Each structure stands twice: as structure tokens, then as C-alpha cells.
Amino acid sequence: MQTLRGTKDILPEEIYHWQDIYYTVNKLLNIYNYHEIKTPILENTDLFLRSIGTETDIINKEMYTFEDQGQRSITLRPEGTASIARAYISNKMYEKSKINRLWYFGPMFRYERPQKGRQRQFNQLGIECLGTSSPIADIEVIKIANKVLETFGLKSYVIEINSIGNLEERTQYKDKLLNYLNQYKQDLDPDSQKRLISNPLRILDSKNLKTQNILINAPKIISCLNSESLKHFNTICEHLTYLNISYKINHRLVRGLDYYNYTAFEVKTNELGNQNTICGGGRYDKLIEQLGGPITPSVGWAIGIERLLLLATNNKIKKLSIYIIIQGTEKRQQIWDIIQIIEECKITFSLNITGNNLAKQLKQAHHSPAQICFIIGEEEIKNNYITIKWLKNSEQQKVKLSYLKAYLNTHKYLFTN
Ligand code: ATP
Ligand code: MG
């Protein structure tokens, strides 16, 4: 039996990193007053069709869509923002507060060719700041993305940023771009050729090298931006400079989803081969309206957790502190009193339950990551003490049970992390 292609089990040695990420981002986002939200993994297919945009890779070829027993078209969510927008509307979240700062963490599904850093079931951490068109919100979310990546020890990454303007500006730009690209029609990859008619801006996102080469001299969207769009974009750039967050303006950056306007950004690294984007985000001022909600200009991003883990340099290793060896099982109820004391001191322990002899259990203790070993044998039980062996240097001490708690509390710093 195998997992489905593009999906994988996360085993205990890896899950500690996941727990660490969840715990750390929870603490961090709490500081910024972002609140966690969990939406269903299943949604009406229509939600994604209406938000992500036709002629995007996600809609054209990546969705896991099926019909349920009631003949409804259901889709496993390919991304988080559409669901958040839906939840915001269906729960009337705008009634309680004008601004909603939200974050989510969970699995997403896209039918793609699996490679390193690219799976069919993958996880995203995302934040969304709903309810304001202020560029300060854009800066806040970019600053948080940077903070998250920094916190996990990522070093060589660049934040690429662009403004894709408003609908009017994009319409104007579309014509300019088409004028240019039509000259090279025959040399574009087949997908891009189709998009000349259906969605020309998507061509800018093409990964095809020949198409990318043609795009080098294409007109830039910035040439179509009016003063308001430019002001928004420049404010963000100025603040990022003030914050010492390095960024690169990429005039060809458009995102893989159609609901964005104004700010679009991606965080890229050169360490992951083709899967070089670790975070993607932007402003989406019209999405919530488009789905039937009130006017709610918003901005957010999503980070791919599998890619984050491939790059994180400060992965913590879960440590074990105490290894407990018991000799025999008769009259050994006292071990529960000892465990009670360890629990109260909040120290991690592992009880050897193999029933092996002392020598073998000691060997196992030495192979474990534990720092100290408790030996509870016949002598110990009879005389109410335990033998503590420091596994690093094999030093041994006898400690009276009545003194054990005090001993652990005073020595804890030596054998826990
Ligand atoms: P790519 O260009 O790599 O396909 P994308 O533009 O489709 O990325 P987004 O929709 O912006 O990605 O999603 C945000 C982040 O989620 C990505 O930057 C990436 O880290 C992660 N991600 C997206 N698709 C996958 C996938 N199939 N497997 C693993 N991570 C993914
Ligand atoms: Mg993609």
C-alpha cells in the first residue's frame, strides 16, 4: 500500500518541526493581532471558479473536483483566500469589525506534477488583512512575511514586488502587451498563444524560457499606472526601505490568480530549483464584492510550508531528558510515584517497557537522546531511592525518593532543553 502520488505521510521525527512552526507562528501572529480561522477543506466548486479566474493554471488543470452523492460539484480547496472571503461573507464578519486580521494553516490540493517542493497535497500558512485599502496594510503583511521567514532562519531570499494597477489600467496595459506579443505569436509556447485571446496578462507568468525571453522587452505595466496607483506602490516601497527589508521591483510579476490588483509580491529563493517561490501574495480589493459581500479591500499572502521546511535552518530537535529502567515488574507500583514527580517537574521521559535485562536496557538508554537515566531495581525499591546515571560520563548518584523532586528541580537545567 502506498500513499497517492504527490501526497505523503508526515512521520513523528518531522512532525516536531510542524508543531514548532504552528506554535511559533501562533505566538508571532498573536502579537500582530491576527486571529486564526479554520474553513472547510471542501467547498462548492463555484467558489473557486468565481474567484481564482478562468484561464489560470489552478482552474484549467489543477483542481480536485468531484461530484458528491447529491450531484453537487465539490472541490478540495486549492488555496486559502477564496475560502476566507467566503467565510467572511457567510458569517457576516464585517458586522463585528471593520478590519479583520486573519490567519490560517492547513492542507491545499492541486493536481500538479510532483517534484521536490511540489506536491498534490501541500500545506499553506496564510494571513489576510480584510477591510482597508491603506498601503500600511500591504506593508504590515509584507513585514510579517519577512518576519516569519527570518524567524525560521531563512537567509537567501528576495521579496519581489510589483503593482498590477486597477482593472482600467490593466485593460489599457492588455492592449499594449498584445500589440507587442502579437509580433512574436509564432514563437510563444502553446499555452501562451491561447492566452493571447483568453487572458494575455497570464503570459507574463509563463515559465517557458522562450516566452520569458520574448517578455524581456515587453512594455511594463507601470507605464499604464495613474498617479493614485503609483502613490500606493511608492508608499509601500518607501516604507520597506525604511524597514530595511530588501526588495526587488519585478515589472513582470503577476500572480497565478486573477483576483489581485495593485500590489503583487512573491518571495523567491534560489535554493529550491524550479520551485523557487516560497511565498506569494497581494492586494485583492474586489474579490469579496465579486463574491456578493460588501466592499472590502484586502491584502494577504500564503507561504508553502513544505518549501519553508526545506529551507529552514533552525529546525529544533525534540529532546528526551530522562530514560527510566526498571528491573522486574513485581512490587514496582512505585514507578508511578516517580513518574508523577517527573510529570510535575514537566520533564520529558521514556519508560523502558521491553522487559530486557539491565545491561541491555542501559545500552538502549545510551542509544537514546536522553541525558540521564533512572535505574529502579530491587535494591532501590526496597530502600526507597533511585539510582541516577548521567549518560554522558556515566557518573552515578543515589537519590532518596523523598528528595527526588528537589533534585530534579535543582538539576533540571543540566539535562533539559
Ligand atoms: P508555483 O509558481 O511554485 O506553482 P504558485 O504561484 O502556484 O507557486 P501560490 O498559489 O502563490 O503558488 O501559493 C503560495 C505558496 O504555496 C507558493 O509560493 C508555494 O510555496 C506553495 N505552493 C503552491 N503550490 C504548491 C505545491 N503544489 N506544492 C507545494 N507547495 C506549493
Ligand atoms: Mg502553481
* Mean of pLDDT values over 343-366: 94
CA dist., res. 104 & res. 34, Å (int)? 10
Would you tell me which CATH number, out of the four given (3.30.465.10, 3.40.50.800, 3.40.50.1360, 3.40.50.2300), belongs to the domain 322-416? Answer: 3.40.50.800
Place of cell 498590477: 164
Taking a C-beta distance cutoff of 8 angstroms, is the pair 326, 352 a contact? yes
Among 76, 104, 120, 122, residue to substitute to test ligand 1 (most atoms within 8 Å of Cβ): 122
> Alpha helix locations (H) across 204-285?
209-215, 227-242
Q: What spacing in Å lies between the alpha carbon of 278 and ligand 1's midpoint?
A: 7
- Phi then psi for residue 179, to 5 deg, are -55, -45
> Which protein residue has the closest C-alpha to ligand 1 atom 28?
118
Q: Say which residue the cell 557518573 belongs to.
A: 395
Distance between Cα 364 and ligand 1 center (Å): 43
Least confident of 18-32, 164-178, 306-320, 333-347: 306-320
Question: What's the pLDDT at 314?
Answer: 66
Atom 15 (ligand 1): residue with closest C-alpha?
304
pLDDT at residue 378 is higher than 70: yes
Region 175-190: mean pLDDT is 95
C-alpha cell at 341: 514527580
Distance 39 CA to ligand 2 centre (A): 21
Ligand 1 atom nearest to CA at 274: 3
Spacing, Cα 135 to ligand 1 middle (Å): 25
**Residue 66 identity (one-letter amino acid):** F
Of the bound ligands, which one is closest to the alpha carbon of residue 275? 1
Task: Domain ranges for the chain, please list them.
Answer: 12-165+225-311, 322-416
Residue with the smallest CA separation from ligand 1 atom 19 is: 304
Report the range of poorest mean pLDDT among 96-100, 202-206, 363-367, 386-390.
202-206
- Report the binding-site residues for L-histidine: 79-81, 110, 124, 128, 255, 259-260
Task: Return the CATH fold of 12-165+225-311.
Answer: BirA Bifunctional Protein; domain 2 (3.30.930)
Q: Which ligand is nearest to the CA of 304?
A: 1
Geometric angle at alpha carbon 309, from 308 and 314, rounded to 5°:
105
Query: From the CA of 266, which ligand is nearest?
Result: 1
Q: Angle 107-112-117 (CA atoms, 0-180°, nearest 5)? A: 65
pTM for this entry: 0.90
What is the pLDDT averaged over residues 56-72?
94
Q: Give me the residues paired with residue 62 across strands.
A: none
Residue 316 C-alpha cell reads as 529544533
- Residue 184 CB contacts under 8 Å (≥ 6 apart), including other chains: 214
Residue 272: pLDDT above 90?
no
As for ligand 1, residues whose beta carbon falls within 6 Å of it are 79, 110, 112, 117-119, 122, 124, 256, 275, 277-280, 302, 304, 306-307
Same fold, 12-165+225-311 and 322-416: no
Q: Is 331 helix (H, G, I), strand (E, B) or coil?
A: coil
CA distance 245 to 237: 10
State the pLDDT at residue 318. Answer: 66
